[in-house]
Structures are given as C-alpha cells and as structure tokens.
C-alpha cells in the first residue's frame, strides 16, 4: 500500500492530486488575504489616506526588489496594514487618528514597537467650541478620552498638518508636520465648456455639519447669490433639510454624507466652477489643514477662502483663488464677480490646479515615512 497522510495518498497519481489541492488552498488563502486588505482599506478614514496611504500606496503592496542582479517579488509588502488605519514595518507602528480597539490595544501593549501617531484635528479645542454640533463634540470627546490620550502618551513621534497642532505637541514629542496628499488626478477645465452652452454656474460648499459656524455663514451668502443670479446652482452636503430658506430651492442640490471611500469615488465624477471655504475664527478651526485647497482642485473648482485664514498666504488672490473678509456682503460680491467673468475664471482654474499640484506633491511624505519606518532600500523604488 502506498504511504498516506489522512485521506490523501502521497505517492503516484494521488500525490499530484494532493499537490493541486495544496496549490489551490494557497491560492484561496492569498485571495482571502487580498480581500481582507481591501476590506480594511475600505474602512479607512481621511486622515489615513491623506497623511499616509495615498503617498505610500505602492509600499503597501507586495514589494518588488532587486537582488543578485535580477528582480524578485516578495510576498510581504514593505508596510503591513494591520487595521483600517494602522500599519507595521518591522518594529515601527503607525496609527492614524483611531482604529478598532483590538488593533490599538495590541499596539499599545507591545513595548517593542516604536509608535508614530497621526492626528489632524485639535480634539482638546473641540471641547470649548460651541459652534460644533453637540453629537460631533460628544464623539470627539469619546475619542479624546479614549484612544487619543493613550496613543499620544505612548507615541514617540506625532505627525500633524498645521503649525497650531505642531506647537501643541512640541514640548513633549518629536513632532513632524506634513501636508495632505490626494490620490488620482486633479480635474482639467473641460467642464467650463458647459457655461458657453448656457448651463448653470456650479457652486459648491462641501463643509459638513462639523463646520458649524462656517456653514451658517455660507448659507446666508448662498441665499443672496441664488436670489440675485438665476444661472447659479449650488451643491451642499447634508443628510436632510438645512433648516433655512434654501430648503426646497430648485437650484440647490443636497448630497448625503458618504463613507470616505464612497466620498472619494463620488468626487471623481463631480465638477464645479467655484468652491467656497470660509474659515471663521473658532477654536476647532485653528487646527484645520490646507486640505480643501487640493480637494477643490480635484473637483475642478477655483476656491474662495477667508482672507484671515492661516493658509491664506498660499492663495494668490485673483490668480490661484479668491480671498475675502468674513463679511457676507464681501463673499456675495466675490461670487457675483467671478460669475461675471467665466473666461477669466477658467484661466484662474488652470493656475489654481498648478498651485494645488505643488501642494499635492507626495515627495515630502515619502521621504519622511521611508526614513521613519526604516524601509530597507526604499529609495530604489522612487521614480
């Protein structure tokens, strides 16, 4: 009788059958692991993509390295994704804002790991900012008193996007400041052709209810613009009614908030001519990043921003965007002026896109993360 292992013969033709089953098992396991990685990635949040994954995406895939004069493929990527927003590279761990409790607890309890924590909001300021919705403040308070406190205490390095947040942690941590990076191309200007065909001038305000004071300000501005210009159309993010005179307006489109992965996919289809981003002086706003400038370029829009915003110096007023004081009449005038000169606005869109492309350069993030995570030979993978 042939030698056997369980029900699978290990000699003759039976061995070939066992080998096929084994290979198929490995293929299924590999497919399952791939689907698991996709599932974890689909649950990621903006912080993760903007400050880590978009710039490092190729390092999260099975790595191709050179060795002995030839290329060879490694099964394991340079960086392993162990949660929706958490990563490992050797003894280096990265957590972006928050993750499942089991993932975070495992990282916190491993003394061998060096931790880098990425945080892009001032959670302490949220406690004192009454312009934020109560339920959002409650969610931030739970994060602040839970994972945030523990991760800040455990981290050796903290990554932030603003001077405000850098100053907050400078006395206690190694702090690195990085700008956001969006994946995919920035929009061209082809949607401006629609204006020549008599289509509506598309205005966007994409701040969610978490932009409480800014949202209240911009609603009054948009009420005036829609009343003055029948060729204006507005898009906003909202779950239901706004609770103002704009509700039911035929030229207002409300888009429901979506999970981040679906939000990104929707952005790829949307195009606007002008996008609004007022930044009123509130405690929570002081920690917000320059992210919206790049997001507006993804949507093909020229941006209108607060003249006293901390990043206003990155906008060349009248060239790469518009700046206005936080007065309703000034914002209405700026919007109407832009609508009156579609050719000039189109020329600005090209300059705004070029400026946003500079901001969206992944090189600073790749330089930092490659060094920080000690990725062996990572410079070989640079274009």
70-74, 135-139, 323-327: which is most confident: 323-327
Closest CA to 163 of 288, 307, 283, 312: 288
Which residue range(s) make up the domain with 163?
Answer: 45-181+362-381
Residue 31 clears pLDDT 50, i.e. is over it: no
Spatial strand order in the sheet of 232-237: 252-255, 232-237, 201-205, 274-277, 302-306, 322-324
Higher pLDDT, 64 or 85: 85
Tell me the per-residue pLDDT of 326-342, one tens digit each, with 9 for 90 and over. Answer: 999 999 999 999 999 99
Domain count along the chain? 2
C-alpha 363/C-alpha 308 separation (Å) is 29
Tell me the per-residue pLDDT of 187-240, one tens digit each, with 9 for 90 and over. Answer: 999 999 999 999 999 999 998 777 888 999 999 999 999 999 999 999 999 888
Q: Is 102 helix (H, G, I), strand (E, B) or coil?
A: helix
Tell me the per-residue pLDDT of 260-303, one tens digit each, with 9 for 90 and over. Answer: 999 999 999 999 999 999 999 999 999 999 999 999 999 999 99
Residues 201, 157 share a domain: no
pLDDT at residue 314 in the model: 97
pLDDT at residue 241 in the model: 82
Where would I find the beta strands (DSSP E) of the chain? 4-5, 8-9, 62-67, 70-77, 80-81, 86-89, 92-96, 114-118, 157-160, 174-177, 201-205, 232-237, 252-255, 274-277, 302-306, 322-324
pLDDT at residue 74 in the model: 54
Cβ pair 49, 260 in contact under 8 A: yes
Specify if 287 maps to a domain: yes
pLDDT at residue 118 in the model: 98
* Averaged pLDDT score across all residues of the chain: 88
Calculate what percentage of the chain has a pLDDT beyond 70: 84
Cβ pair 200, 251 in contact under 8 A: yes
Residues 337, 216 share a domain: yes
Residues 289, 196 share a domain: yes
pLDDT at residue 17 in the model: 63
Q: Which of 75-89, 186-200, 315-329, 366-380 is predicted with the least confidence, judged by mean pLDDT?
A: 366-380
Give the bridge partners for 73, in sequence order: 64
Specify if 39 maps to a domain: no
Residues 97, 161 share a domain: yes
Cβ pair 331, 303 in contact under 8 A: no
Report the relative pairing of strands 322-324 and 302-306 from DSSP bridges.
parallel
Residues 260, 223 share a domain: yes
Q: Is 327 helix (H, G, I), strand (E, B) or coil?
A: coil
Residues 208, 174 share a domain: no
pLDDT at residue 308 in the model: 96
Residues 143, 262 share a domain: no
Residues 297, 162 share a domain: no
Q: Please, which residues have CB within 8 angstroms of residue 261's CB and are 6 or more apart in sequence?
A: 41, 42, 43, 44
Tell me the per-residue pLDDT of 110-128, one tens digit each, with 9 for 90 and over. Answer: 999 999 999 999 999 998 8
């Amino acid at each position: 009788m042939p030698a056997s292992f369980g029900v699978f013969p290990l000699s003759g033709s039976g061995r070939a059958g066992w080998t096929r089953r084994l290979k198929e098992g490995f293929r299924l396991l590999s497919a399952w692991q791939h689907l698991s990685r996709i599932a974890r990635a689909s649950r990621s949040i903006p912080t993760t993509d903007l400050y880590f994954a978009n710039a490092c995406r190729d390092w999260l895939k099975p790595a191709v390295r050179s060795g002995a004069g030839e290329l060879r493929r490694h099964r394991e990527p340079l960086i392993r994704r162990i949660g929706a927003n958490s990563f490992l590279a050797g003894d280096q761990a990265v957590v972006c804002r928050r993750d499942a409790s089991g993932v975070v607890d495992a990282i916190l309890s491993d003394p061998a790991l060096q931790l880098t924590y990425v945080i892009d909001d001032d959670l302490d300021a949220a406690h004192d900012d009454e312009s934020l919705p109560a339920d959002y403040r409650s969610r931030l308070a739970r994060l602040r008193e839970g994972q945030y406190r523990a991760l800040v205490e455990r981290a050796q390095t903290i990554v932030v996007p603003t001077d405000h947040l850098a100053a907050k942690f400078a006395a206690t941590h190694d702090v690195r400041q990085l700008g956001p990076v969006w994946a995919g191309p920035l929009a061209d200007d082809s949607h401006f052709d629609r204006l020549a065909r008599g289509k509506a001038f598309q205005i966007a305000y994409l701040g969610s209810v978490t932009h409480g004071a800014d949202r209240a300000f911009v609603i009054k501005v948009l009420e005036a613009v829609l009343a003055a210009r029948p060729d204006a159309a507005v898009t906003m993010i909202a779950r239901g009614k706004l609770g103002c005179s704009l509700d039911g307006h035929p030229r207002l489109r409300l888009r429901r908030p979506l999970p981040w992965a679906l939000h990104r996919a929707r952005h790829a289809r949307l195009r606007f001519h002008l996008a609004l981003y007022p930044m009123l002086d509130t405690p929570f706003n002081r920690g917000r990043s320059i992210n919206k400038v790049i997001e507006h370029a993804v949507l093909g829009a020229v941006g209108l921003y607060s003249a006293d915003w901390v990043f206003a110096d990155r906008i060349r007023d009248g060239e790469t965007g518009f700046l206005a004081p936080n007065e309703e009449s000034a914002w209405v005038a700026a919007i109407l002026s832009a609508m009156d000169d579609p050719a000039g606005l189109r020329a600005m869109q090209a300059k705004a896109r070029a400026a946003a492309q500079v901001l969206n350069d992944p090189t600073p993030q790749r330089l930092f993360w490659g060094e920080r995570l000690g990725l062996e030979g990572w410079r070989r993978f640079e274009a």
